[in-house]
Amino acid sequence: MTQDAAPRKGRPRRGRAAAIQTVAVEAVTWTLDRPPTINDVARLAHVSKKTVSRVINQSPFVNEETRTIINGIIEQIGYVPSPQARGLAFQRSFLLGLVYDNPNAQFIVNIQEGVLAACRLAGFELVVHPCDQKSPHFLNDAKQFVQRQNLDGVIVVPPASENPQLVEVLRDLGCRYVRLSAVSLDEAANMVVYNDRQGAAEVAEHLAALGHRDIGFIAGPSRHRSAHERRESFVGALKSHGITLRPEMVEEGAYTFESGEVCATRLLTREPRPTAIFASNDEMAAGVYKTAQRLGISIPRDLTIVGFDDSPIATRLWPSLTTVRLPAKDLGRLAAEKLIIRISSDEEEGHTATGVVSRMVVRESSVPPRG
């Protein structure tokens, strides 16, 4: 080896590892006399501002080593990306809206949790808009909500999702949307569908297999498409077992605890009294529990109860409630993911059918009838 080729002591090669070490030192010595900016992150990471922006927006076009360095610097110096600047750079607001008119609070909470999970992963935020379809200002309020918030897209929860006039408002505004519903009401790109029929049919199969013949049914409100789907499927499945659901054994509730109490009082004070009641959601089933207790009717010895949704209350009731699991969090997550893909690609992607299936969960509240 010649003298020129020998390594020069004290002057190590500045490779990637050395650059990372330098970054760490510079970041630690950051002074907090002003908030750090994206330019500071780019300078410390020895990359362009565009590369930092790609990392912030979770672009796949950045290698993992660079991504790790940039994320480390962001965390060290406490840089918080400006939503306004991000929106200007991408000509988007990174805001999704959730429009709902539904009396079942737990259903909305579960949907919202699913939407938020998808938003967090994609760097979006969620704005909610409770509405009242009975109000004369319903459509105008929805329009102003989308315009005021400058939303990139909207997720619409039933029964509002079943309103064709609301859909027309969103189309006129050029706002992308995804509708949740028990049936397909739109192009596949705009729908996430949940299959209520299968779950309701499984309830009928379960009650028939246990030997119940005097069965009461608490339907959901008629303005909800899900109420029709659950009722039609339940009645049809009972018929296949030679069981007729008598008209006097049917009450219409409102998907609320209180309506469950009222409907159960009517059913349980009739003769002959039903040996089983299927309530179209868990809130109404909980109302049946309260009424049965008030009337001195033992669950499940004297009365079998089945609900629908598998909300948290199903396992908090005693005895625990047999119900149908509707994965509402998955519904929200799938809707948000579908919408975000379309927004981020600026194309009408996500056009394939998306949906979830409801399944029966047997617990302690359902047993064969006495005698």
Query: SS3 of 176, please?
Result: strand
pLDDT band at 25 (very low <50, low <70, confident <90, very high): very low
Inside any domain, residue 297: yes
- Other CB atoms within a 10 A radius of the CB of residue 183 amount to 16
Weakest mean pLDDT among 18-27, 40-49, 224-233, 274-283: 18-27
Inside any domain, residue 21: no
Q: Are residues 276 and 177 in the same domain?
A: no
Inside any domain, residue 371: no
Written as six digits, the tokens of 215 are 């069965």
Report pLDDT digits (tens) over 163-172.
999 999 999 9
Distance CA 287, CA 303 (A): 14
What pLDDT score does 80 carry? Answer: 78
pLDDT band at 13 (very low <50, low <70, confident <90, very high): very low
pLDDT band at 291 (very low <50, low <70, confident <90, very high): very high
What pLDDT score does 207 carry? Answer: 98
What pLDDT score does 30 carry? Answer: 56
197-221: average pLDDT: 97
End of a domain among 89, 108, 128?
Answer: 89
- Other CB atoms within a 10 A radius of the CB of residue 76 amount to 17
Q: Are residues 184 and 220 in the same domain?
A: no
Q: Are residues 206 and 299 in the same domain?
A: yes
pLDDT band at 343 (very low <50, low <70, confident <90, very high): confident
End-to-end CA distance of the chain: 101
Inside any domain, residue 22: no
**Greater pLDDT, 59 or 327:** 327
In the predicted structure, residue 268 carries a pLDDT above the cut 60 = yes
115-123: average pLDDT: 90
Return the residue matching tokens 């379809």: 133
Q: Are residues 278 and 137 in the same domain?
A: no
Report pLDDT digits (tens) over 67-107.
899 988 888 888 877 655 555 455 567 899 999 998 788 89
DSSP state at residue 352? S
* CATH number for position 43: 1.10.260.40
Burial 282-304 (b: 16+ CB within 10 A, else e): bbbbbbbbbbbeeeebebbeebb
Q: Are residues 170 and 253 in the same domain?
A: no
In the predicted structure, residue 53 carries a pLDDT above the cut 80 = no
Inside any domain, residue 72: yes
In the predicted structure, residue 14 carries a pLDDT above the cut 80 = no
Q: Are residues 61 and 163 in the same domain?
A: no
Distance CA 193, CA 183 (A): 6
Q: Give, to the nearest 10 degrees, the angle between helix 164-173 and helix 138-149.
A: 30
- Other CB atoms within a 10 A radius of the CB of residue 139 amount to 16
Q: Are residues 215 and 310 in the same domain?
A: yes
Report pLDDT digits (tens) over 184-196.
999 999 999 999 9
What pLDDT score does 39 carry? Answer: 86
Q: Is the dihedral of CA 119, 120, 125, 131 positive or negative?
A: positive
Q: Are residues 313 and 353 in the same domain?
A: no
Weakest mean pLDDT among 12-21, 147-156, 316-325, 345-354: 12-21
What pLDDT score does 103 carry? Answer: 77
* CATH number for position 117: 3.40.50.2300
Distance (Å) of CA 204 to CA 50, 212, 306, 315, 321: 59, 10, 10, 21, 16
In the predicted structure, residue 12 carries a pLDDT above the cut 60 = no
Q: Are residues 54 and 132 in the same domain?
A: no
In the predicted structure, residue 136 carries a pLDDT above the cut 70 = yes
In percent, how much of the chain has pLDDT > 90?
67
Inside any domain, residue 363: no
Q: Are residues 137 and 185 in the same domain?
A: yes
Q: What total of structural domains would you count in the chain?
A: 3
Residue 180 φ/ψ, nearest 5 degrees: -100, 135
pLDDT band at 52 (very low <50, low <70, confident <90, very high): confident
What pLDDT score does 347 carry? Answer: 54
Residue 324 φ/ψ, nearest 5 degrees: -110, 125
What pLDDT score does 9 carry? Answer: 41
Cβ(362)–Cβ(206) below 8 Å: yes
CA-based R_g, the chain, Å: 28
What pLDDT score does 40 carry? Answer: 87
In the predicted structure, residue 280 carries a pLDDT above the cut 50 = yes
Q: Are residues 60 and 178 in the same domain?
A: no
HEC assignment per residue over 80-127:
CCCHHHHHHHHCCCCEEEEEECCCCHHHHHHHHHHHHHHHHHHCCEEE
Report pLDDT digits (tens) over 141-163.
999 999 999 999 999 999 999 99
Query: SS3 of 46, please?
Result: coil
Query: SS3 of 38, please?
Result: helix
In the predicted structure, residue 174 carries a pLDDT above the cut 70 = yes
Note the pTM of the prediction, 2 decimals. Answer: 0.75
Inside any domain, residue 15: no
What pLDDT score does 59 carry? Answer: 66
* Segments forming the whole domain that contains residue 75: 38-89
Q: Are residues 203 and 307 in the same domain?
A: yes
Distance CA 277, CA 23 (A): 67
Q: Which residues contact 29 (CB under 8 A, 6 or more apart)?
A: none
Average pLDDT, the chain: 87
In the predicted structure, residue 225 carries a pLDDT above the cut 80 = yes
Inside any domain, residue 231: yes
